[in-house]
C-alpha cells in the first residue's frame, strides 16, 4: 500500500517536475519495502528521496532515522551509526530533542551493544 502510494507520487512528481513529490515518492517506496521486511530494497529509494528533496535535508530526520534502522537490520552497523549520529547532532543543535535526538540516541545504544558483543 505505502509503496503503491509512493509510485503514484513519484509518477506525479516526474510528470509535473515537482521535486518534493518525487522525493516523497521515493521515500514512500522505501517505506513500503521497509515495512514489508525487505531492508536491502528499502535503502536505495530512501537515500534517493533524501538526495532529491528540495530544501533542507535536516527536515528529513524521520527518514534518516528509518534509513539508519534499515541499515541496522541488514547488518550494516557503520551506515546505521552514521545516520543516527547525524540526526542526533542536528536535533541537539536545533532543539528537537524528543522528535529526533532522543529516539536516535536510543537506536545508537543498539550499535554499542552489537559492538560490545562482537
Q: Are 73 and 117 within one domain?
A: yes
Q: How many independent structural domains does the chain possess?
A: 2
pLDDT at 58 over 70: no
pLDDT at 91 over 90: no
Domain boundary among 36, 55, 74: 55
Q: Are 22 and 76 within one domain?
A: no
> Which pLDDT does position 3 carry in this prediction?
84
Nearest Cα to 63, choosing from 29, 98, 18, 110? 29
Q: Are 38 and 75 within one domain?
A: no
Q: Are 45 and 82 within one domain?
A: no
pLDDT at 11 over 80: yes
B/e letters for 6-20, b = 16+ CB within 10 Å, e = fewer, are beebbeebeeeeeee
Q: Are 60 and 107 within one domain?
A: yes
Q: Are 79 and 28 within one domain?
A: no
> Which pLDDT does position 100 carry in this prediction?
64
> Which pLDDT does position 101 carry in this prediction?
66
Q: Are 51 and 67 within one domain?
A: no
> Which pLDDT does position 57 carry in this prediction?
61
Q: Are 28 and 77 within one domain?
A: no
Q: Are 68 and 102 within one domain?
A: yes
Nearest Cα to 112, choosing from 81, 66, 82, 91? 81
Alpha-carbon gap, residue 87 to 102, rounded angstroms: 10
Name the residue range of residue 78's domain: 56-118
Q: Are 47 and 87 within one domain?
A: no
Which DSSP category does 96 fall into?
Answer: -
Q: Are 47 and 75 within one domain?
A: no
Average pLDDT, stretch 12-33?
94
Amino acid at each position: 500500500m505505502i509503496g503503491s502510494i509512493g509510485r503514484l507520487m513519484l509518477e506525479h512528481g516526474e510528470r509535473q517536475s515537482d521535486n518534493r513529490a518525487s522525493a516523497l515518492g521515493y521515500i514512500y517506496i522505501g517505506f513500503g519495502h521497509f515495512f514489508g521486511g525487505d531492508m536491502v530494497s528499502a535503502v536505495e529509494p530512501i537515500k534517493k528521496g533524501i538526495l532529491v528533496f528540495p530544501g533542507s535535508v535536516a527536515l528529513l530526520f524521520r527518514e534518516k532515522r528509518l534509513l539508519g534502522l534499515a541499515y541496522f537490520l541488514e547488518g550494516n552497523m557503520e551506515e546505521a551509526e552514521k545516520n543516527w549520529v547525524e540526526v542526533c547532532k542536528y536535533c541537539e543543535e536545533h532543539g528537537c530533542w524528543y522528535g529526533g535526538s532522543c529516539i536516535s540516541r536510543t537506536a545508537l545504544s543498539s550499535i554499542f551493544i552489537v559492538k560490545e558483543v562482537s
